[in-house]
Amino acid sequence: MTALDPAWNTPPPDMVLASDKVHVWRASLELTPTAILALRRTLAADELARVKRFHFTEDRTRFIAARGALRDILARYLGTEANQVCFRYSSHGKPSLAAGSQRGGQRKPPLHFNLSHTSDLALVAIARGRRVGVDIESMRTDIAQDLIAARSFSPREQARLRALPIHLKAQGFFNCWTRKEAYIKARGEGLSLPLDQFDVSLAPGEPARLLHVEGDAEEASRWTLAELAPGPGYVAALVVEGHGWRLACWQWAPT
């Protein structure tokens, strides 16, 4: 799928999500102390325990902002308060809505969601009845891109990255990394699926695609991969189970 350059619109007061739609929310994590305190009050005990494990204040604040934004966003679809959203976790740590949290009972396909944040920006992907994964990265220059590629990219991806002109290599690296992370997150299996066992497109300007998954010739055709445009200096990818869906993008702000 080609790059999506959406307008990040103000959301309507009533959020309705059909099965053929996917919503992605962009949230700034640079919030006022008052907003952070309000979001902290919505977190569950296990989330507050995680907050305490962060050594740096900045990391604690960004976790509260990202997790609080996720709760607020989900509450809009569920017709409840943010502090009433209940999560359960898979054996690989991926959160999902606990039984009883879904509005409408069994009449609607369940909500699936995924959260990613980096630096001062977060993305939340929401879909109904289909798995989703999202990843956002700041295009940092202080990471060992060649070493990470050698450890985590497939041989084909490494060859494609080496073939890029020098001025496109950083974009190609982050394209590859975010697309692989988004797919892993959509699958929800953690690193039980090694990153070097599947291929994604990475060259700037070419369509974002899941190309091949080792050991399953049909797997790549089950997913749609898209490039997002969250803002200057960021690279992001969205992976959605199935095809025939349409995207809407919203700008989150604390209420």
Domain ranges of the chain: 21-252
The predicted structure's pLDDT at residue 85: 96
Among 1-15, 128-142, 159-173, 176-190, the least confident range: 1-15
pLDDT band at 100 (very low <50, low <70, confident <90, very high): low
The predicted structure's pLDDT at residue 71: 98
Looking at the predicted structure, is the pLDDT value of residue 104 above 80? no
The predicted structure's pLDDT at residue 101: 64
The predicted structure's pLDDT at residue 224: 97
* Chain centroid offset of residue 43 CA: 20
| Distance between CA atoms of residues 55 and 185, nearest Å | 26
Report the phi/psi class of residue 93: left, alpha or beta, with left for phi > 0 and alpha for psi in -120 to 50: left
Q: Answer yes or no: are the C-beta atoms of 214 and 197 closer than 8 Å.
A: yes
CATH number 3.40.1350.10 given to 21-252: no
The predicted structure's pLDDT at residue 141: 82
The predicted structure's pLDDT at residue 5: 47
* Chain centroid offset of residue 237 CA: 7
The predicted structure's pLDDT at residue 105: 46
The predicted structure's pLDDT at residue 3: 46
- Residue 75's CB is within 10 A of a number of other CB atoms, namely 19
Q: Answer yes or no: are the C-beta atoms of 171 and 74 closer than 8 Å.
A: no
The predicted structure's pLDDT at residue 252: 97
* pLDDT digits 0-9 by tens, 206-240: 999 999 999 999 999 999 999 999 999 999 999 99
Looking at the predicted structure, is the pLDDT value of residue 143 above 90? no
**Mean model confidence pLDDT for the chain:** 93
| Distance between CA atoms of residues 103 and 154, nearest Å | 41
Helices (H), the chain: 33-40, 45-53, 57-78, 145-152, 155-163, 169-187
Looking at the predicted structure, is the pLDDT value of residue 107 above 70? no
The predicted structure's pLDDT at residue 234: 96
Q: Answer yes or no: are the C-beta atoms of 42 and 83 closer than 8 Å.
A: yes
Among 71-80, 141-150, 196-205, the least confident range: 141-150
What mean pLDDT do residues 108-132 have? 95
Q: Which amino acid is at 100?
A: G
The predicted structure's pLDDT at residue 7: 83
Q: Which amino acid is at 141?
A: T
* pLDDT digits 0-9 by tens, 8-47: 999 998 899 999 999 999 999 999 999 999 999 999 999 9
What mean pLDDT do residues 129-144 have? 93
